[in-house]
């Protein structure tokens, strides 16, 4: 672990604060530490949902640490488990992650938010991708952003680096909620508390199916679901929790999930 990450386990919820003043930029060591942390979260049966935020109120994250890059740190290849910032390439993370964007999400910081399953943002936050002005490209932004908002708006951000405020982000459905800064974590925790009322395997199956069928037709998606290759989905159907849910409903009580 690194001093740049502040970690709190709040019952079944993992809260992670990226705290590297002044801009919460991410160097290789921080990226590797984030990957290790999210791998632990992935593998811990007691943890169900993660919330990721930034320290302070100005930056969620400025992305890649350009000072480290100027000193010769590699721009690619040393990020560790899960790719840049720990989750941009952690494709087997079948637990929800909520980005609580407390300020500017710049470059890789915006990519990090896009890699989460939900985004809650403070009303003063901004998103932008300035990579073209430093001689590189936003890879995760190029892959993810055109799938989240209209193509021409995404390309405008990627090709001009212009900033998006939260009013516009709401317009395009890029964020789940926009709240005042002092309500940010409360809103993220509200979503997380709702999620942990659901069955663990159901949450995991949602992520598995959504990821696997992202580029499939409806017919192909159903075929995949029934193919025997959707391992978590199949495990969910055969689980004790799939019996517990209807039973608890019929008995008018809260279900007791085991994740099995």
In the beta sheet, which residues pair with residue 9?
14
Structure tokens at 174: 């890029």
Q: Report whether 164 contacts 9 (CB < 8 A).
A: no
Please list the active-site residues. Answer: 111, 131
Q: Report whether 249 contacts 256 (CB < 8 A).
A: no
Question: Which residue, chain included where needed, has tokens 């037709």?
Answer: 217
Q: How far apart are CA 160 and CA 157, in angstroms?
A: 5
Structure tokens at 195: 């999620």
Q: How far apart are CA 82 and CA 92, in angstroms?
A: 9
Q: Report whether 204 contacts 236 (CB < 8 A).
A: yes
What angle, rounded to 10 degrees, do the helices at 151-160 and 139-148 form? 150
Sheet with 49-54: strands ordered across: 5-10, 13-18, 49-54, 97-101, 118-122, 177-179
């Amino acid at each position: 672990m690194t001093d740049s990450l502040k970690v709190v386990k709040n019952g079944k919820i993992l809260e992670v604060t990226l705290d590297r003043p002044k801009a919460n930029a991410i160097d290789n060591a921080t990226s590797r530490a984030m990957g290790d942390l999210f791998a632990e979260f992935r593998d811990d049966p007691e943890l169900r949902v993660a919330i990721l935020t930034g320290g302070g109120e100005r930056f969620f994250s400025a992305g890649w640490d350009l000072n480290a890059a100027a000193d010769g740190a590699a721009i690619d290849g040393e990020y560790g488990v899960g790719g840049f910032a720990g989750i941009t390439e952690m494709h087997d993370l079948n637990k929800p992650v909520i980005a609580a964007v407390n300020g500017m999400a710049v470059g890789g910081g915006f990519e990090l938010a896009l890699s989460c399953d939900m985004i809650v943002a403070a009303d003063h936050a901004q998103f932008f991708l300035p990579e073209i002005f430093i001689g590189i490209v936003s890879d995760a932004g190029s892959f993810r952003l055109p799938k989240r908002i209209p193509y021409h708006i995404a390309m405008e951000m990627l090709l001009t680096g212009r900033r998006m405020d939260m009013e516009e982000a709401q317009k395009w459905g890029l964020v789940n909620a926009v709240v005042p800064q002092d309500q940010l974590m409360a809103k993220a925790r509200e979503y997380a508390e709702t999620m942990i009322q659901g069955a663990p395997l159901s949450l995991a199956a949602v992520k598995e199916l959504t990821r696997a069928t992202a580029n499939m037709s409806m017919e192909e998606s159903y075929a995949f679901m029934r193919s025997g290759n959707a391992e978590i989905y199949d495990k969910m159907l055969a689980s004790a929790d799939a019996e517990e849910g209807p039973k608890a409903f019929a008995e008018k009580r809260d279900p007791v999930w085991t994740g099995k």
